[in-house]
Amino acid sequence: MSDKLIIFDTTLRDGEQSPGASMTREEKLRIARQLERMKVDVIEAGFAASSNGDFEAVKAIAAAVKDSTICSLARANDRDISRAAEALAPAQRSRIHTFIATSELHMEKKLRMTREQVLEQATLAVRFARNLCGDIEFSPEDGYRSDIDFLARVCEAVIREGAGTINIPDTVGYGIPELYGDFLRRLREKVPNSDQAIWSVHCHNDLGMAVANSLAGVKIGGARQVECTINGLGERAGNCSLEEVVMAVKTRRDYFGLEVGIDTSQIVPASKLVSQTTGFVVQPNKAVVGANAFAHASGIHQDGVLKARDTYEIMRAEDVGWAANKIVLGKLSGRNAFKQRLQELGIQLESEAEVNAAFQRFKDLADRKNEIFDEDIIALVMDESVTA
Ligand code: KIV
Ligand code: ZN
């Protein structure tokens, strides 16, 4: 089994399905260029058959992006698949991603189709798509809530038709890491031709476990592709977040033993671009890309980090695209952090007694003010009256 983990970004398709996150062609193109800069393996650029606008966006991205595979989603029917192929025509490397639901609930209530009808439609769709494109991905929608034996039959059939990637979505975010990972492992065991496809995970975040489930799908289930979005953007509570899954696999390479080709220094620029484009603010305590992800406020932590960064940092801020980590001065800060900031500001106090006095004034101010900025420090050192 390969030790490369394929990163499939669906910010521009599943991410855009987030209410209020719809993007123009130009906005999608700008984000696609950033994803390419970040060395994302596959960019799902949209759902070409869903609207003329999305068709044009997929086409423009297919023409502009050269280093990533460009993918379009398509329902399992000839019209959607033809439309996807048409939009993808300018791409250097393209993929058609076709899907149909396989859970009893979706088949009976939504599709109003029998198992045999779904099996046949999936088979025909992949056969049709395979004649238009060399790279086909198949997703059984609501796969995780599907009967595993029926799902195995569908997967076996579509692999036989030439689907090179089989993606098992946890469409409604129902999974629990061990259970989802184990489901994928057992499913692969039931599919006789499973080694002819790359297995992929696609997890939603309804219970806040999209990243954990995806990682379990990799570790326990043997998936070698993760579908994810920048900032975890996506339907309802979102999708698995790219920055978290990538940094987990990189930081815990000792556990996963996998390579990811992402240029991680492009992660924060990508996060900011998606946030500015969609207007979806990133929460300050969001892992990796939140404003506080590398900020230290407590005196004990600040002292530790100033002595050796790895005391309280498991990743480098610079490695994910921040300029630096942050020592936030406030009422919990210690003397060491205060002295360090004086030094950075080029302020030289004559004696330890002067430092002590300035530190005391800083603490008094910090009791009244949430965060102390550099301007506050300059003022309190220059003008004792600030604390009055
Ligand atoms: O969540 C889902 O099931 C999907 C599929 C279309 C892959 O987004
Ligand atoms: Zn999805």
What are the tens digits of pLDDT across the range 210-267? 999 999 999 999 999 999 999 999 999 999 999 999 999 999 999 999 999 999 999 9
Query: What pLDDT shows up at residue 386?
Result: 43
Identify the weakest region by mean pLDDT among 108-112, 117-121, 265-269, 366-370: 366-370
pLDDT, residue 370, reads 86
Mean pLDDT in residue range 374-381: 93
Centroid of chain to Cα 21: 16
Mean pLDDT of the chain: 96
Distance 35 CA to ligand 2 centre (A): 19
Pocket of ligand 1 (CB under 6 A): 14, 99, 139, 141, 169, 171, 202, 204
**Stretch 378-383: mean pLDDT, rounded?**
86
Residue among 8, 14, 72, 166 whose CB has most ligand 1 atoms within 8 A, to mutate: 14
Give the closest residue (by CA) to ligand 1 atom 5: 141
Taking CA atoms only, the protein residue closest to ligand 1 atom 2 is 171
- Given a cut of 80, whether residue 61 has pLDDT beyond it is yes
Measure Cα distances from 377 to 53, 345, 360 in Å.
Answer: 52, 9, 12
In this structure, which residue's CA is closest to atom 1 in ligand 1?
171
Tell me: is residue 202 an annotated ligand-binding position.
yes
What is the Å distance from ligand 2's center to 307 Cα?
Answer: 44
Measure the CA–CA gap between 82 and 76, rounded to whole angstroms.
Answer: 11
Pairwise pLDDT comparison (327 vs 382), residue with the higher score: 327
- CA–centroid distance, residue 225 to ligand 1 (Å): 14
Reply yes or no on whether the pLDDT at 103 is more than 80. Answer: yes
Q: Write the single-letter amino acid at 302.
A: Q
Q: What angle do CA 11, 137, 157 make, to 5 degrees?
A: 150
Counting ligands in written order, which one lies closest to the CA of residue 76? 1
Largest CA distance in the chain: 85
Q: Which of 8, 138, 139, 227 to mutate to test the pocket of ligand 1 (most atoms within 8 A of CB)?
A: 139
On the question of pLDDT at 383 being above 80, the answer is: no
Atom of ligand 1 nearest to the CA of 10: 8
